[in-house]
Structures are given as structure tokens and as C-alpha cells.
Amino acid sequence: MKYENFNMESNRNRILIVGGYGMVGSNIARLIRQVDTSIELLLAGRNPQNGISLAKELNHSETAYINLEEGFDLRDFKKIDLIISAVDDHSNVLRETAIVNGIACIAVSELADQISPTAFLGLHKKIVAPVVYAGHWQAGILTLVVSQQANKFSQIETIELAGLYDPKDSVGPLVANEVSGFVGEALIRKGEIGYHYKQKKTRELLICTIIHQQ
């Protein structure tokens, strides 16, 4: 593996972003760079050549090949302080590698059934670095909203989760495909401005969030 963009003996913190040059990963990388101009970023994925221009844009960055279906050996990447998973990791490879090796990890693409095995591992392996599950439908924030709002009702027959589907937002359709099994449409774009609200039955608590990124 080639490391060309910076000195590998540097004492800077290094962040590995798997899926780092994709839609989600590239936005994460840019946000990190806005906050810190010296952190070293490793933008990894199955087609690292697609991330070369982004690496040049961000400075102190490089690309690397990672295909989780072929396995993941942390020793290939020297020092890593934080692993960010911005890809589908159905076998929990990245999170479990992070836990076993005491590396901080943020996962932004998993669903509920993918969280359980890692949570179970945490019961049997001492956690020495933060592990953040940030991908299960807005990091689970809707569950907290439901709990708070439910206290305002004397009786609730149904609780539904719904979201805004905006075909003009590149993130909207992507998320909608992932959550269509448990989140319905409540707000739908109507023309260039405004959204149409689907009328719900009475005595139903509707919690609505927006599948949208500015």
C-alpha cells in the first residue's frame, strides 16, 4: 500500500473513513476538515482512485483500498485513532475490529439488526474507547421524541414514524430506500416550494422527521 500525501511518522491523529469518498463519507470528511486542518484522513473504499481528487482537496489525506467482503486487517493501516463506517457493514467487521483493538468507532450506516451483535460483544469485551451507533434512523432520536410527546396524550392507539421524501435531494431517496420498511411518507414535495401533508386518523401520534440534508 502506498502512502504518498504525508509523513507517516507524524504524531497527528489519524481517522479512517471507510466509504470516505462516497456521498456520506465525503461530507463527513469535509466537516472534519472544517473543524481541524491537521488531522490525517484516510479515505478508503473499493475504488480508491475515485477519492484522489477529494484527498487533494482536503490536504493531509490519502486514499486506500478496503473491501469488507475480502476482510479487514488493521495492521495494513499503521496508526488509526478513529474508524468511521460510512458503508454497509453487514458483518460488523469495522465496529468489532475497533472494539477488540481499543479504537474509537462511529458507525453511520447500520440498522437495528446490525447493532445487536456488536452490543452483545460489548458485554463480553471491555470497551476502552467510544463506540457510537449513529445510523439507525437519525441515531434513534425519534424514539426519544416519541417518548416525550407521548406524555401529552391520555390515550394513544397508534404511533407511526413518517418522513419527508424529497426526490430533489440526493440524500433523501437514498435514505428512503433504506427505511421504507418502517417509516412511511407524511410530507411530500408539492411543486417547487412547500410540502403536502398526508391527513392522518385522529388519536394517532405522528412523529415526522425530514429525510433531507442542507
Burial of 201 (0-12, 13-18, 19+ CB in 10 A): exposed
Residue 166, C-beta contacts closer than 8 angstroms, at least 6 positions apart: 172, 189, 210, 211, 212
Contact by Cβ (8 Å): 107, 133: yes
Report the pLDDT value the prediction gives residue 5, as an integer from 0 to 100: 39
Report the pLDDT value the prediction gives residue 207, as an integer from 0 to 100: 45
Report the pLDDT value the prediction gives residue 18, as an integer from 0 to 100: 97
Handedness of CA 201, 140, 15, 32 (dihedral sign): positive
**Angle 93-101/112-124 helices, nearest 10 degrees?**
20
Interatomic CA distance for residues 87 and 3, integer angstroms: 23
The residue with cell 391520555 is 154
Burial of 105 (0-12, 13-18, 19+ CB in 10 A): buried
Q: For the sheet containing 131-133, what is the strand order?
A: 61-65, 40-45, 14-18, 82-85, 104-107, 131-133
Contact by Cβ (8 Å): 56, 77: no
Report the pLDDT value the prediction gives residue 148, as an integer from 0 to 100: 82
Report the pLDDT value the prediction gives residue 203, as an integer from 0 to 100: 37
pLDDT < 70 regions, the chain: 1-11, 109-114, 135-142, 160-214
Report the pLDDT value the prediction gives residue 99, as an integer from 0 to 100: 92
